[in-house]
Amino acid sequence: MPTLAKIFSRMCFGLGAASLAVLAAQPAQAQAADTSFFVTSVGIGNGANLGGLAGADNYCQTLAQAAGAGAKTWRAYLSTQEADGKPAVNARDRIGKGPWQNSKGVVIAKDVAELHGNNNLTKQTGLTEKGEVNNGIGDNPNRHDVLTGSQPDGTAFAAGEDRTCKNWTSSTQGSAMLGHADRTGIPSPTMSSWNAAHPSRGPEGGCSQTDLISTGGAGLLYCFAAN
């Protein structure tokens, strides 16, 4: 039969281990709560039909909530074009003032100007809401294309040529401007652009899930905490 001293020792050891476990969990929880930027780990699944800006924002909010960062107001980095009497919306105007950091505490950009200038977004820093590195060039499958509908400075395209898959309501005809989350691709002046690398295209019209996958994407989004 264990002595009183041994029982007490085991209790202390158990309490100590439990305390260490709690302390070990705290940094991860704090990092998740402080996250203010991520690349979605998966797309909505309906091509570029996101349910408009509201649907995309809700998707970012839902993923952030599941990851422990839902206390903030999350917005998808997307522009829309002037149509049906409604003015254009610029992605850069929707995401707050910054700074923004990933789940590891690495700052992506301190403000809107730096985000659209010399930012710190790379394959290694553009983590998902789960804190994981997203697939890029050289990975199977490549998923570096991210929906933006934006010009390099974060503003919307002029009305006319579709660059937003009908303002994020089409999964058939149209086209969406895509960025490269890993900042790489076939050598060209735009392939290192995180938000304006090339338009979507494909046999199903340019906006379907199959079309987005065919050029190295999955309908992923950039999500920013606006507050």
Instruction: For residue 141, say if its preceding peptide bond is cis, omega within 30 degrees of 0.
Output: yes
| Residues of the chain scoring pLDDT < 50 | 1-26
Q: CA-CA distance, 61 to 35, in Å (whole number)? A: 12
At residue 75, the pLDDT reads: 98
pTM: 0.87
86 phi, psi to nearest 5 deg? -105, 140
At residue 14, the pLDDT reads: 42
Three-state DSSP at 23 gives: helix
At residue 29, the pLDDT reads: 55
Residue whose structure tokens are 């985000």: 115
Q: CA-CA distance, 1 to 186, in Å (whole number)? A: 72
Amino acid at 205: G
Amino acid at 183: R
Amino acid at 55: G
Note whether 205 and 199 are within 8 A (CB).
no
Q: CA-CA distance, 217 to 200, in Å (whole number)? A: 9
DSSP state string for 129-186: TTS-BPP-TTSSS---EEE--B-TTSPBPPSSS-SBHHHHT-SSB--BEEEETTS--S
At residue 30, the pLDDT reads: 63
Q: Tokens at residue 26, please?
A: 């705290």
Note whether 146 and 221 are within 8 A (CB).
yes
